[in-house]
Amino acid sequence: MNHFYKLSCMFLILTSPWLATANEASLSLQQAEQLALQHNPALAASSKQAEAMATMPSQVGSLPDPKVSFYAMNFPVDSFSSKQENMTQLQLGFSQAFPFPGKLGLKSEATEHMAAAALQNTQEFRLVLLRNTRIHWWNLAYLDKALSIIRRNQSLLRNLVKIAETKYKTGKGLQQDVLLAQLELSKLLERELRLKGARERQRATLNALLGRAANTVITIPSQEKFEVENSIQIDASKLKNWARSHRPMLLAMGMKVDASDSMLALAKKGYYPDFNVGAAYGFRQGINPANKQARPDFASIMLSMSIPLYGASKQDKAVDQRMAEKARAQFSRQDIANKVDADIDSAVSDVRIAREQVVLFQTGILPQARLTTSSMLAGYQVNKVDFLNLVRAQLNEFNTDIQYWHQVSALHQAEATLAAAAGKENLIKDITHE
């Protein structure tokens, strides 16, 4: 009965809580979020883009730079003397262009709306970054849990192989039991390799989000029993209303519509002329032969204006262009709003289903799988259950455990997706404080 004792001890070890080695470098979800927000280069680039856009309204709203001119006028080509002719002069001028009143204000207004939209785009990128960080962190958490379960299962099968070999050598077992245990062990080794590959990919992606080298080591804190917060109710209608007034992407689209309004008003101002005002002072030398006196200097004042002579092919077309752009912005905003509603509905459904599945695993599937394994073990010890059924029951229990943690990960990922869709950084926290 020595092998029965070994098998019983082995099951007691496997059913006890698994303790991971403490690692000071473990990366919690909150730490991952902070690192992403602080070091993600794409978020930093988006922020700098918003800063650049914020400097534009004062630029486009300012008058054009004035012009200073200098002319050497009416010099005779036979002598190039400044005293020979009455009209010879050195002229210094100054001019300033003045767009029709209201044009600069509309340009500045449109650019302010676009700058505000750029800032909202940065906030939208922040939400997406948090969502992706949470998704990949929970993928890593699941893969680590699955790997730990598989390694425990490998230890079990190795012991089962030894037990089967011992029984076969003593004439109390079958060779097919040995081969079966070895085959299942090989399958677990192959599955472990696939999970390791998946973990490497997830680690590289998460490190990229955190602004770190792809091969940076990531250790996820050990995940223990998970409690589903069924008391928190998620109302899709409230989330949609919140998104209408808070989702950065929708706010940015609204600001682009406002910018298109300003650009349309500016295009209509194109029918009005722009002005240019200038003054010049001409310096003359020499004596006027007519009165024998020094030649006086010249002073000039200039006023010019543009004439919208080609309105049918220019200004009319500009107005048509801006009207089409405004309509496009409005349709785009409505399209994005519809997609946000659809994303919220889909994510709410995913969260509800994931919660139900986790609860089903906790209250039904997992306890049943463990009870089945215990029953099979008891039957095997009294030779009422064959080795094949025992192995299958144990493998089913471990696979069920892996599926459970996959559902836990899927629940957190669905919550992260829903938070981003609704325009919230912390879905559960925000809902509980409403």
Neighbours of 90 (CB within 10 A): 16
d(CA 317, CA 323): 10
β 275-283/67-73 pair status: unpaired
Q: Who's near 29: CB < 8 A, 6+ residues apart?
A: 134, 137, 138
Cα torsion for 347, 349, 354, 356, to the nearest 10°?
160
Q: Where are the alpha helices (DSSP H) in 170-227?
A: 175-209
Q: Where are the domains of the chain?
A: 23-58+102-133+224-272+311-432, 64-98+273-307
Token representation of residue 155: 């230890």
C-alpha distance from residue 249 to each of 238, 256, 276 (Å): 18, 11, 42
Question: pLDDT truncated to tens, each residue of the chain (434 aa)?
Answer: 344 334 444 443 344 333 333 344 688 889 999 999 999 999 999 999 999 999 999 999 999 999 999 999 999 988 888 888 888 999 999 999 999 999 999 999 999 999 999 999 999 999 999 999 999 999 999 999 888 888 887 777 777 667 666 666 666 656 666 677 677 777 778 888 888 899 999 999 999 999 999 888 988 888 776 766 655 678 899 999 999 999 999 999 999 999 999 999 999 999 999 999 999 999 999 888 878 888 899 999 999 999 988 888 999 999 999 999 999 999 999 999 999 999 999 999 999 999 888 888 888 888 888 888 778 777 766 667 677 777 778 778 888 888 889 999 999 999 999 999 999 888 766 554 44
How far is Cα of residue 234 from the mean position of the Cα atoms in its chain?
A: 23
Tokens 């400044």, located at residue? 82
Task: Tell the CATH superfamily of the 23-58+102-133+224-272+311-432 domain.
Answer: Outer membrane efflux proteins (OEP) (1.20.1600.10)
Q: pTM for the complete prediction? A: 0.81
Q: How far apart are CA 372 and CA 380, in angstroms?
A: 12
Give the helix ranges, DSSP H, for 55-102.
56-60
- Nearest 5 degrees, angle CA 298-CA 299-CA 303? 140
